[in-house]
Amino acid sequence: MTIVMIGIDLGKNSCSVAALDELGAVVLRRRMRPTSIVEFASKYAPCIVAMEACCGAHHLGRQLVARGHTVKLMPPEYVRPYVKAQKNDDRDAEAIAEAATRPTMRFVELKSQEQLDIQSLHRVRSRLVGTRTMLINQMRALLLERGITVAQGRHKFEKALDKILMEEALLAPGRLRDLLCEMRDEWSVLDRRVEALDKEFAQLARTDEMARRLTSIPGVGPLNATALVAAVGKAEAFEQARDLGAWLGLVPRQYTTGGKPRLLGISKRGNTYLRTLLIHGARAALPSLARTNTALGAWLRGLQARCHPNTVVVALANKLARIAWVLIRRETLFSLERASTA
């Protein structure tokens, strides 16, 4: 029995395995615990091991690569069309193996442990920021029920809340005041944790060569740079700069039929977190870049004259992503004069 492809449907407690031969026929099916997969794969000659890009896939993939196998990770949405009727774990494993054999399939680059560590830090920070936002919204609602309205904005609300808690004339003593004091302390703890992570990202951006190059791009700070390093690594999965922008969902969604092209809003595919960071960075860098006497500045001024401001911001975010690809692949620093060629 010659096995050339192994498809693994990962699970927390149970995994399904399907092996294919040279003709694409299923010659082996197994169900096992995740801890047994490496030992199982070690019994066979080096082959291609395919998995969906999900939690644990990168860690398991590095272990399989160390034992001579070739690991291919795929987005789950690309595997779904290959699942036959009566979906189950065995069918999923077979579909993963079959999808990996297609010559036009797109694969996910295997992340290193350092990339996963940085990605984990970003996910924790995102959760803390979301928790802080929910806390602030709840405090706003509690004050609104007492007839106290505060202007929009986190910093404005922070100043107003501190003033309310200091002056009893604005809010009478009682259980609500005590509750708001406790919530204010919780808010301060969240601020300190977010600030500590921001300092860690700044330190990473100074010590990591790739992140340091990315921070030379206008609108790309330590947060954006480290997120790019964690998400794309050396960008070897993208053949050209425009592929990175398309992967991030910063290009128009296409609906073409009967030879009539139709472009809609941005596709919003790929990494939502990274796309959001790039758009915020582009919004901050747009005014200064549009004033420069360069090809990039002239391009932005032309867009501003004929497009909605949000469209200009997204277009600049796409440009920044393409510039980031050039800097990563060519190992160079940003140059405003050459930015229009990205």
Kindly report, residue by residue over 259-293, the tens digit of the pLDDT.
898 888 888 888 899 999 999 999 999 999 999 99
In a domain, 235, yes or no: yes
Closest among 204, 250, 249, 210 to 233, alpha carbons compared: 210
Q: Is the CB of residue 263 less than 8 Å from the CB of residue 298?
A: no
Alpha carbons 213 and 229: distance in angstroms, whole number = 11
Query: What CATH number has the domain bearing residue 39?
Result: 3.30.420.40
Task: Decide which of 169 and 61 is more confident.
Answer: 61
Terminal CA-to-CA distance of the chain, rounded, Å?
49
Q: Is the CB of residue 279 less than 8 Å from the CB of residue 269?
A: no
pLDDT in tens, 192-228: 999 999 999 999 999 999 999 999 999 999 999 999 9
Q: Which residues contact 337 (CB under 8 A, 6 or more apart)?
A: 294, 295
Question: Do 242 and 266 sit in the same domain of this protein?
Answer: yes
Question: Do 229 and 321 sit in the same domain of this protein?
Answer: yes
In a domain, 287, yes or no: yes
Which pair of structure tokens corresponds to residue 54? 């999900």
pLDDT of residue 340: 59
Question: Do 272 and 325 sit in the same domain of this protein?
Answer: yes
Q: What is the mean pLDDT of residues 303-317?
A: 95
Summary mean pLDDT of the chain:
92
Question: Do 35 and 142 sit in the same domain of this protein?
Answer: no
| Residue appearing with tokens 């406790």 | 182
Question: Do 187 and 242 sit in the same domain of this protein?
Answer: no
pLDDT of residue 338: 67
pLDDT of residue 244: 92
Q: Is the CB of residue 98 less than 8 Å from the CB of residue 25?
A: no
Confidence band (pLDDT; 50, 70, 90) for 335? confident
pLDDT in tens, 218-264: 999 999 999 999 999 888 889 899 999 999 999 999 888 888 988 88
Question: Do 164 and 254 sit in the same domain of this protein?
Answer: no
* Domain end residue (candidates: 57, 75, 100): 100
Q: What is the mean pLDDT of residues 12-37?
A: 93
Question: Do 60 and 96 sit in the same domain of this protein?
Answer: yes
pLDDT in tens, 181-191: 999 999 999 99
How many structural domains compose the chain? Answer: 3
Question: Do 125 and 50 sit in the same domain of this protein?
Answer: no
Closest among 62, 17, 24, 23 to 43, alpha carbons compared: 17
In a domain, 316, yes or no: yes
pLDDT of residue 342: 55
In a domain, 106, yes or no: no
pTM beyond 0.85: the answer is: yes
* Domain end residue (candidates: 207, 230, 254): 207
pLDDT of residue 85: 83
* Domain end residue (candidates: 73, 100, 127): 100
Confidence band (pLDDT; 50, 70, 90) for 334? confident
In a domain, 192, yes or no: yes
Q: Is the CB of residue 80 less than 8 Å from the CB of residue 4?
A: no
In a domain, 335, yes or no: yes
The range of the structural domain enclosing residue 130 comes to: 113-207
Is the pLDDT reported for residue 341 higher than 60? Answer: no
Question: Do 228 and 249 sit in the same domain of this protein?
Answer: yes
Alpha carbons 273 and 227: distance in angstroms, whole number = 9
pLDDT of residue 309: 94
In a domain, 212, yes or no: no
In a domain, 108, yes or no: no
Question: Do 60 and 128 sit in the same domain of this protein?
Answer: no
| Residue appearing with tokens 């399907």 | 18
Q: Which residues contact 272 (CB under 8 A, 6 or more apart)?
A: 249
Question: Do 228 and 284 sit in the same domain of this protein?
Answer: yes
Question: Do 37 and 56 sit in the same domain of this protein?
Answer: yes
